[in-house]
Structure 1
Amino acid sequence: MTTPLPIGTKILAGSFLTSGIVHLVRPDLFEPLMPSALPAHREIIYASGVAEIVCGVGLLTRQRWAPIASATLLLAIWAGNWEYALKVQRSTRASTPHKVGAWLRVPMQVPMIRTAWKSRQLPDLTTSD
């Protein structure tokens, strides 16, 4: 009998799948979040969308690599969220709700990273007993 996936892992995987699809369908939504120091914004947005889809599928199918790949991806996104929040905070044109929203993205990553990391403890479905 297979141990069911915890609800947190299901939510994280669903979030990855949804966000990954949005990255591919509406990459323009993510342009403002891109750090200015990075080149090829559109290509990075597409690549991160594919990475999110791959991580989502990997978590749902309990691939051995998926928890670490997911936590690593979330750490990279977290760094970008910090930079974006700081950029918006310095902006004279950003509204207060926009600034609050940018800052709310930062702590949201912590439980997501923890959920990805904890899913390492789930039984791997890709190996036979």
Structure 2
Amino acid sequence: MTGILGLAGITHFLRPETFDSIVPPRLGNPRFWTYASGVAELGCATMLAVPATRRLGGTASAALMVGVFPANIYTVKKHWHSPRGRAIALARLPLQVPLVWMSWNIAGGRAEASR
């Protein structure tokens, strides 16, 4: 999770236009949300990397994964009339489940026991 979130967070700053395009318009300035979610991902990755804050990082990561889910739903709606775009967007939806599950296991200390 640390690597996934760290890489995703960095990508928000290197290629912000990719993330801007999936911010639902009703949220306002897409670049603000792109950068804010990038900061949140980097913050979660940092907390996960530090043993003293790992469990808090797991909780924050699970909340973040749930919080960004509406962007994935918006992406499905946005690409609904494009068979390829729709297929890619729909395929992404279930990927959130294992990310939330892994984060929740870290929060509960279960990931540490399996190491």
Q: TM-score range by the shorter chain?
A: 0.7 to 0.9
Cα displacement (A) at 1:40: 1.5
Q: Please report the RMSD computed on the Cα atoms of aligned residues, expressed in angstroms.
A: 1.5
2:44 counterpart residue number: 55
TM-score after normalising by structure 2: 0.86
Cα displacement (A) at 1:27: 0.4
Write the letter of the residue equivalent to 1:109. Q
TM-score after normalising by structure 1: 0.77
Cα displacement (A) at 1:26: 1.0
Distance in 2 between residues matched to 1:97 and 1:47, nearest whole Å: 29
Which of the residues 112, 118, 122 maps onto 2:99?
112
Corresponding residue pairs, total? 108
1:97 counterpart residue number: 84
| Unpaired runs of at least 5, structure 2 | 111-115
* Alignment of 1:21 onto 2:10: yes
| Unpaired runs of at least 5, structure 1 | 1-11, 124-129
Distance in 2 between residues matched to 1:121 and 1:76, nearest whole Å: 19
Trace 1:8-87 onto structure 2 (pairs within 5 A): 12-62=1-51, 63=53, 64-87=55-78
Superposed structure 1 runs of 4+ greater than 3 Å apart: none
- What is the identity percentage for the equivalent residue pairs of Structure 1 and Structure 2? 31
Q: Which structure carries more relative contact order (alpha carbon 8 Å, separation 6+)?
A: 1
Write the letter of the residue equivalent to 2:79. V
